[in-house]
Chains A and B, each alone.
Chain A
Amino acid sequence: MTAMLRVDNISVRRAGRVTLEPCSLSLDAGERLAVYGPNGAGKSTLLQVVAGLLPAASGSIAFHGTSVGAGMSVLDYHRRTAAVFQEPLLLRGSVRHNVELGLKLRGIEARERARRAQAWMERLRITHLADRAASLLSGGEAQRTSLARALVLEPQVLFLDEPFAALDAPTRARLLGELAEILDEQRIATLFVTHDLEEAAELCERCLVLDAGRLLQHDAMAAVVERPLSRRVAEIVGAVNVFEGRIVAGDGGTASIEWAGHRIRTNVDRPAGIVSFLVKEDRLELGAPSRGGSDEIRGLVQRVRRQGATTLVTVRVGNPQSIRVRCPGSEQPSLDREVAISVPPEAVWIFPQQPAQEDFTGAAIP
């Protein structure tokens, strides 16, 4: 079956430099795909080229099986999709004028325009602002107007380029929740560019990780966090325990990793050699050293940091290696106390994509 939106090997060049390497993706009706990566990763470039707002150096976009720019005009494609950017980019005039604008450009008659605009202004709770000049709106109000302006078009694909990045945290959370509800209800396919993994997880099922214009991983949202393909992906998604170690033969066909003078069991088999791996901080357990289990690493509490409802404890387990453990917020171990960290095999993830052996540094990532 043909995907609603299919993008094949699309790339972008600017000033003779490749800013987006060939990248492919597909979206079906109601599907939501996050594009995640650090600043300068090429996320917005990808969104713009897929939205037909930026020329591609290579590759193709097919919408319902028809090539955009060949079988279907770019204007026609624009008229079946919509985009919301980080800046609301409202035009001169009232909120109502802005919400109705796309419909007007499509030649929808005034009465129908007014009816549809009214419905979406109510949905996004901006009816009371309908006659206010767009330039007088607050950031949240302007972004609501921008969303209403896009949603009133009943797009088949919605392109969102960090639409909440400039908003304060409570406004962002509220608007994100409302948008998720609307997208669920309307089954609008969405490409959502963000540098906030929590936002991505709240809105999308799949995620595309970009870095320096390269697609690093395209996977289910949970897989990107739980099973990053490479060390770089792990770093980008904010993994805190990414190390290099040496694989040694383990028991029962599973490998162990020697790291910082400790032996860490894994639940996979790997040939001997140096590997880069991830230890998931939220799967570790911090306890008193007396427990003496086989999966234990001992060390001294070096730093304790509250992060929302949890505490991130940094434990020095060698020189200079340390490992971080995420504990419930109620746990506040005192500094320099000796602790034991229980590392179950399922907390360890060896990256499927490993750097060349000569690229290993032999040091833990701080």
Chain B
Amino acid sequence: MASSNWDYWDELGTGFVDAVLLLVTFDPETWSIIRQSLLISTTATLAALIVGAPIGAWIALSSFRGRSLLLTTFNAGFGLPPVVVGLVMSILLLRHGPLGWLNLRFTPAAMMIAQFVLSAPIVINLTAVAIQQLNPKIWMQMKALGASRAQMLWLIGREIRLPLIGAYMAGFGAVVSEVGASQMVGGNLPGSTRVLTTAIVMETGMGHYDRAMALGIVLLLLVAAVVGLLTWFQQRDTPR
């Protein structure tokens, strides 16, 4: 009993050392996974920001029938289970499915779309809230200053850039660490759709705890680095 307990901790320690070695020796496979993770999740979240922020602004600034329902729907998107998104996407992308002709199944593009679907509601909601919290008279002041429509959008973007960075962080954090949708639509193909989360699941299943731990550490560091960078941007503008 004592021996097997010792073996367990010994193996875990060795795994941790191997994990660090994999990272510091720039193991090509590990770095390919990191690169794909970054590429897919940043692209998906950036697309969510580009599409979601104007939608959030539109919802915040217009009054139409069903506005509350729409906002509630997007709010519900916060709790959208990645596995369900993965399932729906997989069905849509099946060869004979409605989007089968796109031939996107098991491609990074399919993963980007799935992650976009997961992060867009977060961006939409946080943008709408940020705009609703602005002083309504600020629009009048911008007009009075002689701002054109395009300049007003630029000024509003500037006014809410901190919440927008927050929205990006929240969206990125959610998608880079999800596994269900990525696994289902990506398929975990090496060098293509294998990302940190899918690789961790696979390596753990195969008993390769060293690689799984290495990738886990990288995932944590990656989230910390991206969020840290964005937080620095955010705080740089906050008056103290």
> Nearest CB to that of B141 among chain A residues?
A89
Assess the B146–A75 pair: CB atoms within 8 A.
Answer: yes
Assess the A105–B147 pair: CB atoms within 8 A.
Answer: yes
Contact of B137 among A85, A92, A153, A159 (CB under 8 A): A85
Assess the A79–B146 pair: CB atoms within 8 A.
Answer: yes
Assess the A106–B158 pair: CB atoms within 8 A.
Answer: no
Assess the A85–B135 pair: CB atoms within 8 A.
Answer: no
Assess the B135–A89 pair: CB atoms within 8 A.
Answer: yes
Chain B positions within 8 Å of A53 at CB level: 140, 143-144
A87 close to chain B: CB less than 8 A: yes
Assess the A101–B145 pair: CB atoms within 8 A.
Answer: yes
Chain B positions within 8 Å of A52 at CB level: 143
Bound-complex Cα distance A135 to B143 (A): 21
Chain B positions within 8 Å of A173 at CB level: none
> Nearest CB to that of A78 among chain B residues?
B146
Chain B positions within 8 Å of A286 at CB level: none
Chain B positions within 8 Å of A216 at CB level: none
> How many interface residues does A have (CB within 8 Å)?
26
B189 close to chain A: CB less than 8 A: no
Contact with B along A106-117 (1 / 0, CB 8 A): 100000000000
> How many interface residues does B have (CB within 8 Å)?
19
A345 close to chain B: CB less than 8 A: no
A165 close to chain B: CB less than 8 A: no
A142 shortest CB reach to chain B, Å: 12
Bound-complex Cα distance A87 to B151 (A): 22
Of A52, A83, A136, chain B has the most CB atoms within 10 Å of the CB of A83
A149 close to chain B: CB less than 8 A: yes
B79 close to chain A: CB less than 8 A: no
Question: Could you count the A-B residue pairs with CB atoms below 8 Å apart for me: how many are there?
Answer: 56
> Which B126-160 residues have a C-beta within 8 angstroms of A?
135, 137-138, 140-148, 151, 155, 158-159
A48 close to chain B: CB less than 8 A: yes
Chain B positions within 8 Å of A82 at CB level: 144-145
A144 shortest CB reach to chain B, Å: 16
Assess the B140–A48 pair: CB atoms within 8 A.
Answer: yes
Assess the B159–A92 pair: CB atoms within 8 A.
Answer: yes
| A133-B239, A153-B146 known; A89 vs B151 contact (CB < 8 Å) | no
> Which A51-74 residues have a C-beta within 8 angstroms of B?
51-53
Chain A positions within 8 Å of B151 at CB level: 105
Assess the A105–B146 pair: CB atoms within 8 A.
Answer: yes
A22 close to chain B: CB less than 8 A: no
Assess the B144–A91 pair: CB atoms within 8 A.
Answer: no
B233 shortest CB reach to chain A, Å: 14
Assess the B159–A91 pair: CB atoms within 8 A.
Answer: yes
Bound-complex Cα distance A219 to B237 (A): 50
Chain B positions within 8 Å of A83 at CB level: 140-141, 144
| A87-B137, A89-B135, A92-B158 known; A51 vs B144 contact (CB < 8 Å) | yes
Residues of chain A whose beta carbon lies under 8 Å from any beta carbon of chain B: 48, 51-53, 75, 78-79, 81-83, 85, 87, 89, 91-93, 101-102, 105-106, 133, 135-136, 149, 153, 159
27 A-B pairs within 8 Å (CB atoms) are namely A48-B140, A52-B143, A53-B140, A53-B143, A53-B144, A75-B148, A78-B145, A81-B144, A82-B145, A83-B140, A83-B141, A83-B144, A87-B137, A89-B135, A89-B140, A91-B141, A91-B142, A91-B155, A92-B158, A92-B161, A105-B146, A105-B148, A135-B239, A136-B239, A149-B145, A153-B145, A153-B146
